[in-house]
C-alpha cells in the first residue's frame, strides 16, 4: 500500500476539507466482493451527514477524517466534546487511494463523500484490488484499535531513545522488525530497504546485533528519507497505482537507490550489484558491499 509518505501526501491533499460540512455519503459501485465498509454506508451516512470536519490526521498508514458530531456543538465541555467526535478512517492497504477528483478509472471507486463550505468539495476512495477499508469509529473504538500499546509511535515523531528501545533486544531481522507497526508506525517495504541502505545496515542483521550507534544512524536516515519522500509526494511505481489526491504521479521513485533496482550497480559504491532477497514473503533490496552482514 501506500506507505507513510504516500498517506501523508493524501492527508495534506484533503486538508482543504477542514471546516467543511459533510453533505452527502455514498458508495458508488458494488463489485462482486465489496471492500470492507463499517458500519454500513447507510449507517455512516446517517451519523455523519451534517457533521463538520474538524481535522485531517494520519495514523501510521491510514488517513483519519475527524468529525465533530452535529448533535454536540463545539460549545460543549471538553470531555463531552471528545466523546462526540467521530473518526472516518481510510485504510488504503495495497492499492487504495484517497482522491479529491479524477479517479484513475470509474471502475474501482468504492466510497464518495461530498463536502460543503471548504476548498475540497469531494473526497473519494478508490481501490483497485479492494483490500482497503473505510471505517467510522467513535473515540472509544479509536483508542481500542490505535491507542497506547496498540501501535508504535509514528516514524516521523519517534525519539531516538524510543526507537532504540523498540528494537534493540529483538532477535528478529532488522528489516522484518521495521515493518512491524507495533515497533514504529508508517514504515513500509520500499522505505525499509531504502533507509537500511542509506544507514549501511544489512537487512538480515538481527536487531540485537546492532549497536546503539547504528540505531541512531538508522533513525536519522529514516527521518531524512521519509521527509524527502513526502516532499516528492511519494513513490509511483511502475504499475502506476499510487497517485496523489489529484491523480498525479509522485516522483520519489526517481530517488530510490535500491528498491526495484535489482542487478543495477549500487549507486553508493558503484562496484556491486543490488541484490534482491525475500524476507517474510516480501522483497528486500540491498548492496552486499555497502551493507555487509556482520557475524556475532
Partner DNA sequence: ATTAATGTTCAGAA
Partner DNA sequence: TTTCTGAACATTAA
Rule CB under 7 A: which residues touch DNA? 1-3, 6, 31-33, 60-61, 91, 93-95, 107-108, 128-131, 170-173, 176, 179, 181, 188-190, 234-242, 280-283
Q: What is the widest separation between alpha-carbon atoms in the chain?
A: 65
Which CB, 53 or 190, lies closer to DNA?
190
Which CB, 157 or 280, lies closer to DNA?
280
Instruction: With beta carbons less than 8 A apart as the criterion, state whether 203 and 291 touch.
Output: yes
- Provide the minimum distance between the beta carbon of 27 and DNA in the complex, in angstroms, as a whole number: 14
The secondary structure element, H or E, covering residue 274 is: strand 274-279
* Set of cell numbers at residue 279: 524476507
Alpha carbons 83 and 157: distance in angstroms, whole number: 26
Axis crossing angle, helix 212-231 with helix 189-198, rounded to the nearest 10:
120
Which CB, 76 or 131, lies closer to DNA?
131
Which CB, 51 or 241, lies closer to DNA?
241
Instruction: With beta carbons less than 8 A apart as the criterion, state whether 86 and 2 touch.
Output: no
- Provide the minimum distance between the beta carbon of 196 and DNA in the complex, in angstroms, as a whole number: 14
* Set of cell numbers at residue 186: 508508517
Which CB, 40 or 269, lies closer to DNA?
40
**Upstream peptide bond of 260 is cis (omega within 30 degrees of 0):** no
Name, in order, each residue with C-beta under 8 angstroms of 144's C-beta and a sequence gap of 6 or more: 150
Alpha carbons 11 and 56: distance in angstroms, whole number: 6
Which CB, 178 or 218, lies closer to DNA?
178
- Provide the minimum distance between the beta carbon of 162 and DNA in the complex, in angstroms, as a whole number: 17
Instruction: With beta carbons less than 8 A apart as the criterion, state whether 35 and 130 touch.
Output: yes
- Provide the minimum distance between the beta carbon of 111 and DNA in the complex, in angstroms, as a whole number: 15
User: Which residues in 174-220 belong to E strands, given as ranges?
Assistant: 184-185
- Provide the minimum distance between the beta carbon of 89 and DNA in the complex, in angstroms, as a whole number: 11
* Set of cell numbers at residue 221: 536516515
Coil/strand/helix, residue 273: strand
Residue-wise DSSP of 117-138: SSS--EEEEEESS---EEEEEE
- Provide the minimum distance between the beta carbon of 250 and DNA in the complex, in angstroms, as a whole number: 8
- Provide the minimum distance between the beta carbon of 43 and DNA in the complex, in angstroms, as a whole number: 21
- Provide the minimum distance between the beta carbon of 265 and DNA in the complex, in angstroms, as a whole number: 20
Q: Cβ atoms within 10 A of the Cβ of 143, count? A: 12
Which CB, 182 or 211, lies closer to DNA?
182
Axis crossing angle, helix 4-13 with helix 212-231, rounded to the nearest 10:
40
Which CB, 120 or 155, lies closer to DNA?
155
Amino acid at each position: 500500500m501506500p506507505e507513510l509518505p504516500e498517506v501523508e501526501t493524501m492527508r495534506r491533499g484533503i486538508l482543504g476539507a477542514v471546516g467543511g460540512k459533510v453533505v452527502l455519503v455514498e458508495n458508488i459501485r458494488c463489485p462482486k466482493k465489496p471492500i470492507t465498509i463499517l458500519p454500513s454506508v447507510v449507517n455512516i451516512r446517517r451519523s455523519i451527514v451534517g457533521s463538520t470536519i474538524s481535522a485531517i490526521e494520519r495514523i501510521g498508514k491510514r488517513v483519519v477524517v475527524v468529525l465533530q458530531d452535529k448533535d454536540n456543538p463545539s460549545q460543549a465541555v471538553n470531555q463531552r466534546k471528545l466523546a462526540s467526535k467521530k473518526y472516518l478512517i481510510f485504510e488504503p492497504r495495497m492499492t487504495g487511494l484517497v482522491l479529491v477528483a479524477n479517479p484513475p478509472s470509474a471502475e474501482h471507486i468504492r466510497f464518495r463523500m461530498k463536502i460543503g463550505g471548504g476548498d475540497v468539495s469531494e473526497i473519494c476512495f478508490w481501490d483497485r484490488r479492494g483490500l482497503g477499508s473505510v471505517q467510522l469509529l467513535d473515540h472509544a473504538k479509536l483508542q481500542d484499535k490505535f491507542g497506547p500499546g496498540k501501535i508504535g509511535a509514528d516514524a516521523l515523531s519517534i525519539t531516538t531513545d524510543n526507537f532504540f528501545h523498540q528494537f534493540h533486544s529483538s532477535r528478529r531481522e532488522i528489516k522484518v522488525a521495521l515493518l512491524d507497526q507495533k515497533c514504529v508506525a508508517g514504515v513500509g517495504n520500499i522505505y525499509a530497504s531504502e533507509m537500511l541502505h542509506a544507514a549501511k545496515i544489512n537487512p538480515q542483521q538481527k536487531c540485537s546485533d546492532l549497536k546503539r550507534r547504528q540505531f541512531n544512524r538508522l533513525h536519522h536516515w529514516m527521518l531524512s528519507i521519509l521527509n524527502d519522500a513526502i516532499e516528492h509526494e511519494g513513490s509511483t511505481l511502475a504499475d502506476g497505482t499510487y497517485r496523489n489526491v489529484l491523480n498525479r504521479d509522485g516522483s520519489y521513485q526517481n530517488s530510490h537507490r535500491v528498491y526495484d533496482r535489482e542487478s543495477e550497480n549500487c549507486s553508493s559504491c558503484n562496484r556491486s550489484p543490488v541484490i534482491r532477497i525475500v524476507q517474510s514473503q516480501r522483497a528486500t533490496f540491498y548492496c552486499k558491499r555497502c551493507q555487509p552482514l556482520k557475524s556475532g
